[in-house]
Amino acid sequence: MSGNDSVVEVVTRVPRATLCLLTALRLHGLTTQNPFDVWIMIDRKARKPSIDYPPIRIVRASGSALSDGIETFVVDGVDVRVTTIAKTIVDCFKYRNTVGTDVAIEALRDAWRRKKIRMNDVVAAAKTNRVDNIMRPYLESIV
């Protein structure tokens, strides 16, 4: 099963899921890695999806952290919800202990270098996700 087939399979079976973190980085073209798991964000109170294959990694959120910074992509003819580039980068910092700080920093630098993000969008997403203090030194280093 290719990466896109896995994504389509997951969003078809979990329609309220939003693709995030490493899966979103791949869809935005900010990583060359093809993550083994499909990373999804669901409501904090939602029941855990029972999917055996493809493997999924679940991140839980609520309120504006769940609803803000979402866009729709069409993957193999299917509409999929994906975190925006700014939110994806902010989420990488928020979940840096899971995905790795190096992944978060590289995504930030790559997106900035390729002019795929605006600093205002990243700062707003960082405040919404309460990681603005964590991200401040990294944001100052690239400007």
Half-sphere exposure in the Cβ direction for 136 (13 Å, CA): 5
Tens digits of residue pLDDT in 121-130: 999 999 999 9
DSSP structure string for 72-92: EEEETTEEEEEE-HHHHHHHH
Task: Tell me phi and psi for residue 77, to 5 degrees.
Answer: 80, 5
Q: Identify the pLDDT of residue 84.
A: 97
CB 76 within 8 A of CB 118: no
Residue 93: name the closest of 44, 118, 68, 128 by CA: 128
pTM flag (> 0.85): yes
The parts of the chain modelled with pLDDT lower than 70 are 1-3
Residue 5 is predicted with a pLDDT of 81
Pairing of strands 56-61, 70-75: unpaired
Name residue 43's beta-bridge partners.
61
- Report pLDDT for 86: 97
